[in-house]
Structure 1
Amino acid sequence: MKTDRSKVKRIPKRGAYDTETIYGILDKEFICQIGFVHHDHPVVIPTIYGRQDDTLYFHGASVSRMLQSLEDGVNMSLNVTRTNALVLARSAFHHSLNYESVTLFGKAELVSDTAEKIEALHVISDQILKDRWQEVRQPNEKEMNVTKVLKFSISEGSAKIRNEGVGDDKADYELDIWAGLVPIERTYGIPVSDPLLKKGIPVSQSVLNLKDEKL
């Protein structure tokens, strides 16, 4: 939903409000920055999230100040940003970045239903590494009791995207200075086994599936 606070005001042509664009950016990442006010002070905290349809889930320790504050219904803002290239101009002023970002607004609520809580943890796990959840021991009662899960409805927000080349002043195109794009590419490295791993245990299939994937 496009609102006054979610409307992109600086270079509005870069703004997008459709779910396909917003979900596409959210699905490429798994870390967001959550902003809220705690004891009259603004706070921004990074956390892992998972998306299922129009809901984002995030979790943490039951004593987390962020989760306790958000559970009380305070207003929050959530941002996800992905940088794709350095934009190197002939002038210092016109240097930039190509990026994709999403900023959302709203309130979170506690997930109290046990079945939904487990499913939410599964969603978060799959956001980070698909199919890992099926390979590991599931959370036990004690672990569930010390973990809170909150959900956030994706209903108000916007995306902002820069995917352009260099934009120098006309006179600067005569300068003998290299300009262009430097793509930023992130890939997964070679798995390093835990030194306490029992002998003969192969690398998990979920990890092997990352071989040719990019972050």
Structure 2
Amino acid sequence: MTSIPPYLIPSRSAKRAHYDPAVLHSILDEALVCTISYSVDNMPFMIPTAFVRHENKIYIHGSVGSHFLREIEKGIPVCISVTLIDDLVVAKSAFSHSVNYRSVIIFSKAEKIEDFDLKTAAFEWLTDKMVPGSWEYLRPMKQNEVNKTMALAFCIDEASAKIRTGMPKDEPEDLELPIWSGLIPVSAKKQAPVPDESSAGIPLPKHLRY
């Protein structure tokens, strides 16, 4: 970005804003789900969906019959958001409670992926993001499966991150109160895989051994 559009500058806590692509990419690469918001006939819509970043674009996919995808593939403006929660910030007063977070907002338009090889590659990127190492292990996608699935890309040129870190910011007069304050870390982590009936007796593959 050579200049920052006004709508990417937060109205509050602007010092928490970040525009460095490396910061944006690190958040997008960690998050598994984004929310895509758009408007049709003056009605607001927002859809959560899995996504993957590759270079300077993010990719989503879904059924070619999806009303949601058919609307945004027309190139209407969308706002894409991602949020990661790191800590609950517990202060000495409810007023000063907060959350440590990392978030990204993207303003973009959809680009429909027509090229078969690029579409297949996007499926591979997303599959290996969700379950690293699984693409080569799985049964290969069939051509008709690729054809039945729509892939859309969104350029992330117009994007900003916002990050809050650190301890509570209590009012000076509250600091001596005998009330506990600090951080409660919040983390999302993968648990031990649970096999379905058809997988009974099949050894857990190496890429699923967390």
TM-score (norm 1): 0.93
The list of structure 1 runs, each at least 4 consecutive aligned residues, that deviate by more than 6 angstroms after superposition, is: none
8 Å contact kept, 1:86–1:96: yes
Q: Residue 94 of structure 2 aligns to a residue in which SS?
A: coil
Separation in structure 1 between the aligned mates of residue 207 and residue 69 of structure 2, nearest angstrom:
30
Separation in structure 2 between the aligned mates of residue 93 and residue 186 of structure 1, nearest angstrom:
27
Letter in 2 for 1:44: M
Separation in structure 1 between the aligned mates of residue 112 and residue 42 of structure 2, nearest angstrom:
22
Separation in structure 1 between the aligned mates of residue 135 and residue 192 of structure 2, nearest angstrom:
21
Quote the residue 1:94 is aligned against: 96
Match for residue 39 of structure 1 among 38, 41, 56: 41
Letter in 2 for 1:96: S
Letter in 2 for 1:155: D
Match for residue 49 of structure 1 among 40, 48, 51: 51
TM-score (norm 2): 0.95
8 Å contact kept, 1:87–1:96: yes
Quote the residue 2:106 is aligned against: 104
8 Å contact kept, 2:39–2:45: yes
8 Å contact kept, 1:32–1:48: yes
Note if 1:154 corresponds to 2:156: yes
Q: Deviations over 1:162-193 (max 9, x none)?
A: 00111011111122211110111222211111
Q: CA shift at 1:152, angstroms?
A: 0.7
- Mapping of residues 49-198 of structure 1, within 5 Å: 49-197=51-199
Letter in 2 for 1:167: K
RMSD across aligned positions (CA):
1.2
Q: CA shift at 1:198, angstroms?
A: 5.2
Q: Deviations over 1:105-152 (max 9, x none)?
A: 010111001011000111111221221111111221332222100011
Letter in 2 for 1:99: Y
Identity value in percent: 35
Q: Which runs of 5+ in 1 are unaligned?
A: none
